[in-house]
Structure 1
Amino acid sequence: MFCFQCEQTAKGEGCTKIGVCGKQPDVAALQDLLMHALKGLSLYAVEGRKVGVSDPKVNTFTCEATFSTLTNVDFDPERFVKLIDRCVELREALKEKVRAAGGKVDFAEGAATFRPDQSLHGLVKQGEAVGIKSDPDINSDILSLRETLVYGLKGVAAYADHAHILGQEDDAVYAFIHEGLAATLNRSLGLQEWVGLVLQCGAVNLRAMELLDAANTETYGHPVPTRVPLGAKKGKAILVSGHDLKDLEILLKQTEGKGIHVYTHGEMLPCHGYPELKKYPHFYGHYGTAWQNQAKEFAEFPGAILMTTNCIQKPRESYQDNIFTTGLVGWPGVSHIADKDFTPVIEKALALPGFQEESNGRQVMCGFGRNAVLGVADKVIEAVKSGAIRHFFLVAGCDGAKPGRNYYTEFVEKVPKDCVVLTLACGKFRFFDKDLVDIGGIPRLLDIGQCNDAYSAIQIAVALSKAFNIGVNELPLSMILSWYEQKAVAILLTLLHLGIKGIRLGPSLPAFITPNVLDVLVTNFNIKPITTPDEDLQAILG
């Protein structure tokens, strides 16, 4: 196997024996084969659109299948066998539709014609033959940009899938995912063409995040500032982790009147700010962080745990019987619920002891989406003009278990008291409970939401730039970002597409970025690695 799609990849170079995330070589090969199959399907999807053929089943499947290959989403080999078979089935059906419409179907690329082996062993062998390093003659910079595009597309597919679940979609997003995947088979593209595709991926991801924002806010209302307890209620408990708001809503409805309190974990914390979710009285508080204490938290949680998407390492056997997955998530040995009937989760919660006593822990604030922040924009603008607020820092992104992420905790602790910290995604759990007080009634720590709520952060920045009649890069705003997996890659590409400069990125730079590609990013966007909190603050504030 060879995989370097996440920040924690072995030695900062690539996992070759087993994934640092726990991904086994057979699963890695099956994921490579699925991506290979999706590229072949995409050739026909691109050609189909030229002759007026677009299949909704192909569109949604492409997103779901691509999403399944993200870091820490699905480690179950049997499910990948089904996805590969389904991909080829859809490919052949689409091929005939394109042929009937007069489109091209005589593709010579192996991805367009391959047939899956009938055995798991055979599929793994097929996957090993089409992995990242399968072409020894490819230019290293082309490979770097190709994989950057692939990982960006994985992030776009994830957000598009979430948006589709709540009824929001745009064929332009599906079309580019197919265009991008098909382009990875084109050996004639040069460096500038690859750079163009990578930046276009950022533009399309902005649209995907816009769709998801609309899906969330139109379904559940715009988030409002909300205090969320970090303690526990005495009684039975279910913990929900991941990103999926609809699964949480379904669970809240199914647990009404059953004497079970529902808690959030990780990126589900922002759900407490949505009016249509916070109305449930048994939706109580937030338990734990996202990564650094995850195994301990899950082992000690006295109830059932529902995983809705990724951002969790493979569960340990000691507590995996208490974990259930839904959606695309899957691991061998963990019960999966495909039909959204969460009765097994509820029964497990009722069978487990739950919290034996009430604990009155601290509280944190969430719900500072763009509507909430822009609702007090006049106060923010006046505070900047008066000098009460000197600078804004967006300290955001992914969390992870590898050493080096304490940088973000220390950075926030050392941000001067006349500065405001905006945050989003699971990286905030390094500092989300810090008491940074406020500046004239404006909290110094504003939790904007999940990783996809980077859309909200962008809208806030754009609105402030208009208010001050200056460009976004001229705002007293610095971005200090942490990355881990492919949604973060997509968001970074969006920021680059928007021309944002001076981003500081860590804990380490992507292994799939070659020195030459990095030089392009530094030259054109002044992107740079984090150093130390003191050095970076000094460089920014002087």
Structure 2
Amino acid sequence: MEEKNMFCFQCEQTAGCTGCTGNTGVCGKKADTAQLQDELTGALIGLARAVDDTSAVSKKTWQTIIEGLFTTITNVSFDNAAIEDMIQKVRAEKDSLVGDCNKCQSPCGRTDEYDMQQLWNADEDIRSLKSLILFGIRGMAAYAYHAYVLNFEDPEVNQFFCEALFRIGYAESMDELLQTVLKVGEINLKCMALLDKANTQTYGTPEPTDVTLTVEKGPFIVVTGHDLKDLQLLLEQTNGKGINIYTHGEMLPAHAYPLLKKFPHLKGNFGTAWQNQQKEFDHIPAPILYTTNCLMPPKSSYIDRVFTTEVVAFPGTVHIDEQKDFTPVIEKALELGGYKEDQTFTGINGGTQVTTGFGHSAILSHADTVIEAVKSGAIRHFFLVAGCDGAKPGRNYYTEFVKQTPSDSIVLTLACGKFRFNDLNLGEIGGLPRLMDMGQCNDAYGAIQVAIALADAFGCSVNELPLSFVLSWYEQKAVCILLTLLHLGIKNIRLGPSLPAFLSPNILNFLVENYGIAPITTPEEDIKVLLKQ
């Protein structure tokens, strides 16, 4: 492969708020890895065109597209060999669809792979819209994947991946691309609903649950990421072996699902958000299983105890394949032995436990209480403070924002950004905690359902509710969630800690004029403004 610098601006921490262009990205991704991810994306666009031209589409084709897109999300795969294998898998799937077309004496080029340099060098507004589409469907692919492993899929969601990839490769009309951007939000809502159904039908409806941050003595395993199926399989394989299981990051909400709570060795949560793992995992006496994105390049002090599965990969670590035999992880836990005595850890603000499980079913089961509290004035405002965490300075804004919310307001949260403040005790209103963790980032679907239910109860639109959205973003799942909120017409969203580098001035101006999107400023000023809206 020709040696050249990378170009990547898909995450919030991209260099200089413009793009990573050197030999290594801020996330730790090398230039050759970034090039392979571009090559994979170009191959996916070729496969999408092949799907567009044939009706013989199997479940394997959809799985390949979803896995391929998932592989390109930030902090998923740093392993060139794994990405190259995925590229060959995509090409083989395309060949199975087009048959002898590639051997034609007069090739039409309709299924050619796309050169991503065409996108990165395009007119800035076209590039901006296509980037919104691409990064949005990458995030959506993660949600589709988690549903797929639980045997749930939606033909409309699958087909849209091809439609969106086709637009990235071949559409040049601003109007057509803008319509596709908003359609990403529309289809992602269906995808999040699909995953919500998959999770609740498989594991039960989440229940409010207190989760300790203390790690008991003895062997243990830390599970990070988002995939509940992997956690379930690990719990089953470690049952009765004297090994405790602790969640990390976005896996915290697993404690709220009834089926998973039945395992007595699912003990608590270890650490905070993904960007702190190099510090928190330093010399940890236990293995860590990475089930989805949020992998940072491991330090030498613990790389020997890093295990990956699904599309997550890092060179030199042990990968658990589709057979899901976690024996190597179990053996490493027993070898390391864990802590000699119980270890009491705390959250960022000193709390020793956190609470999760306030999904839409749990909150709406108290709908009468909430509605009466709003009518009586006991609840003046709702704030959804949610999204990704990250290491970039300025994210302490979200901690201070939550601390300064009025005592007559409710704070809903989800995703890993909550680790900035989820160990705070904000008290209660009418027997309900002021701070409610709704779950993982995909549980934004639940927050939307709560907002719609409240709007129906008060006979108004969501934008007329005393409800404000204060979001933090880092990677591509945050992009598709933002597009879903725009599809629903939700306005006056505050977004930070910085605005996406892939938004051109014209596209940003469109979002500001039509949706009132604004960057965060200070907690004091933003709370003051939002309470008046």
Q: Please give the alpha-carbon distance, in whole angstroms, between the structure 1 residues aligned to 2:96 and 2:479.
A: 32
Runs of at least 5 residues in structure 1 that lack an aligned partner in the other structure? 100-104, 115-128
Matched, 1:113 2:112: yes
1:33 corresponds, among 32, 39, 59, to: 39
- Distance of aligned partners of 1:44 and 1:396 in 2 relative to their CA distance in 1, 3 Å threshold: same
Q: Please give the alpha-carbon distance, in whole angstroms, between the structure 1 residues aligned to 2:138 and 2:100.
A: 26
Runs of at least 5 residues in structure 2 that lack an aligned partner in the other structure? 1-5, 346-351
Contact 1:267/1:425 (8 A) holds in 2: yes
Deviation string 1:25-67 (CA, Å, 9 cap, x unpaired) is: 110000000000000000011222xxx3322211110000110
Contact 2:120/2:127 (8 A) holds in 1: no
C-alpha displacement of 1:284: 0.3
Aligned to 2:473: 483
Contact 2:284/2:302 (8 A) holds in 1: no
Amino acid at match of 1:81: E
2:286 corresponds, among 279, 292, 303, to: 303
Aligned to 1:443: 433
Q: Please give the alpha-carbon distance, in whole angstroms, between the structure 1 residues aligned to 2:341 and 2:430.
A: 38
Matched, 1:12 2:17: yes
C-alpha displacement of 1:113: 3.4
Matched, 1:131 2:131: no
Aligned to 2:3: none
- Correspondence 1:340-355 to 2 at 5 A: 340-355=324-339
Contact 1:53/1:97 (8 A) holds in 2: no
- Distance of aligned partners of 1:229 and 1:183 in 2 relative to their CA distance in 1, 3 Å threshold: same
C-alpha displacement of 1:135: 6.2
- Distance of aligned partners of 1:107 and 1:216 in 2 relative to their CA distance in 1, 3 Å threshold: farther
Aligned to 2:161: 177
Deviation string 1:159-179 (CA, Å, 9 cap, x unpaired) is: 111110001101111111001
TM-score relative to the length of structure 2:
0.94
Aligned to 1:213: 196
- Correspondence 1:263-302 to 2 at 5 A: 263-302=246-285
Contact 2:12/2:500 (8 A) holds in 1: yes
Contact 1:29/1:131 (8 A) holds in 2: no
TM-score relative to the length of structure 1:
0.93
Contact 1:55/1:94 (8 A) holds in 2: no
Matched, 1:424 2:414: yes
Seq. identity, %: 56
1:45 corresponds, among 44, 51, 73, to: 51
C-alpha displacement of 1:317: 2.0
Q: Please give the alpha-carbon distance, in whole angstroms, between the structure 1 residues aligned to 2:531 and 2:112.
A: 57
C-alpha displacement of 1:275: 0.1
Aligned to 2:497: 507
SS in 1 for 2:503: coil
Aligned to 2:296: 313
- Correspondence 1:524-539 to 2 at 5 A: 524-539=514-529
C-alpha displacement of 1:131: 3.3
2:375 corresponds, among 346, 370, 385, to: 385
Q: Aligned pair count?
A: 516
Amino acid at match of 2:112: T
SS in 1 for 2:281: helix
C-alpha displacement of 1:106: 5.7
Aligned to 1:93: 96
Deviation string 1:321-348 (CA, Å, 9 cap, x unpaired) is: 1110011100111111112100000000
- Correspondence 1:72-83 to 2 at 5 A: 72-83=75-86
C-alpha displacement of 1:359: 4.0
C-alpha displacement of 1:452: 0.3
2:175 corresponds, among 182, 187, 192, to: 192
- Distance of aligned partners of 1:300 and 1:418 in 2 relative to their CA distance in 1, 3 Å threshold: farther
Matched, 1:402 2:392: yes
Aligned to 1:167: 151
Q: Please give the alpha-carbon distance, in whole angstroms, between the structure 2 residues aligned to 1:15 and 1:503.
A: 27
- Distance of aligned partners of 1:221 and 1:106 in 2 relative to their CA distance in 1, 3 Å threshold: farther
Matched, 1:140 2:124: yes
C-alpha displacement of 1:482: 0.4
Contact 1:245/1:271 (8 A) holds in 2: yes
- Distance of aligned partners of 1:37 and 1:454 in 2 relative to their CA distance in 1, 3 Å threshold: same
C-alpha displacement of 1:259: 0.6
Aligned to 1:237: 220
Q: Which runs of 4+ in 1 moved over 6 A?
A: none
Matched, 1:58 2:64: no
C-alpha displacement of 1:277: 0.1
